Amino acid sequence: MEKGLILWFTGLSGAGKTTISKVVAEKLKQRGQKVEILDGDIVRENLSKGLTFSKEDRDINIRRIGFVAHLLSRNGVVAITAAISPYKAIRNEIREMYDNFIEVYINAPLEVCEQRDVKGLYAKARSGEIKNFTGIDDPYEPPDNPEITCCTDQESLDESVAHVISSLEKYGYLT
């Protein structure tokens, strides 16, 4: 792959974005690809520190992630984003701004995400301790037409990773 790619993972907290993206990154590296993961939590801590979880600040954060992903992709890197990115409009804005954008919807029901919640964030959101938590008191808008969908409540990690890799082959990004 001479030209890079933005591989945009979206889904609820606990759906599997980070887990799947890390394994996909390893598979791509094994195939000689240059890869960077822009994890939502890490980007928020380092590039978007001070932003709140208001819609406006979330949009700013996603624009920043999109811009960095674009800089990487135009230099031949597969930029993998793993951020909730809950709003359709901002994801579509990023899609329209940059070439080689592949949306990967990591789909898992809210109940499953809550069961997987190792950080206890859903419980804190349900008790009112955390405000504007996606899926509880702030919406998550699933993509209308993602290029790839992984249903992590129905498929194993290996199946999800294989689905992403085979889709990249199908779309001509991998040989």
Concerning whether 48 is annotated as a catalytic residue, the answer is no
Containing domain of residue 57, as a range?
5-170
Continuous segment of H or E residues that includes residue 171: none
pLDDT tens, position by position, for the chain (175 residues)? 567 999 999 999 999 999 999 999 999 999 999 999 998 878 878 877 778 788 888 899 999 999 999 999 999 999 999 999 999 999 999 999 988 999 999 999 999 999 999 889 999 999 999 888 898 988 999 999 999 999 999 999 999 999 999 999 999 998 8
Q: Say if 119 falls within a structural domain.
A: yes
Q: Say if 132 falls within a structural domain.
A: yes
Q: Say if 175 falls within a structural domain.
A: no
CATH code (residue 29): 3.40.50.300
Spatial contact of 9 and 83, defined as CB atoms under 8 Å apart: yes
Look at the chain and report how many structural domains it folds into. 1
Using alpha carbons only, give the angle 111, 89, 166 rounded to the nearest 5 degrees.
Answer: 65
CA–CA gap between residue 28 and residue 33 (Å, rounded): 5
CA–CA gap between residue 170 and residue 175 (Å, rounded): 9
Q: Say if 166 falls within a structural domain.
A: yes
Structure tokens at 94: 């990023």
Q: Say if 159 falls within a structural domain.
A: yes
For the full predicted model, state whether its pTM sits above 0.95: no
Tell me which of 85, 127, 156, 167 is the catalytic residue.
85
Structure tokens at 140: 């998550």
Phi, psi of 35 (to 5 degrees): -135, 140
Q: Say if 15 falls within a structural domain.
A: yes
Confidence at residue 81, expressed as pLDDT on a 0 to 100 scale: 96
Q: Say if 12 falls within a structural domain.
A: yes
Using alpha carbons only, give the angle 133, 58, 167 rounded to the nearest 5 degrees.
Answer: 90
Structure tokens at 36: 């960077």
Q: Say if 37 falls within a structural domain.
A: yes
Confidence at residue 63, expressed as pLDDT on a 0 to 100 scale: 92
Q: What secondary structure letter does DSSP report for 35?
A: E
CB < 8 Å & 24+ apart, contacts of 142-147? 142/88, 142/105, 142/107, 143/10, 143/88, 143/91, 143/103, 143/105, 144/88, 145/103, 146/10, 146/103, 146/104, 146/105, 147/102, 147/103, 147/104, 147/171
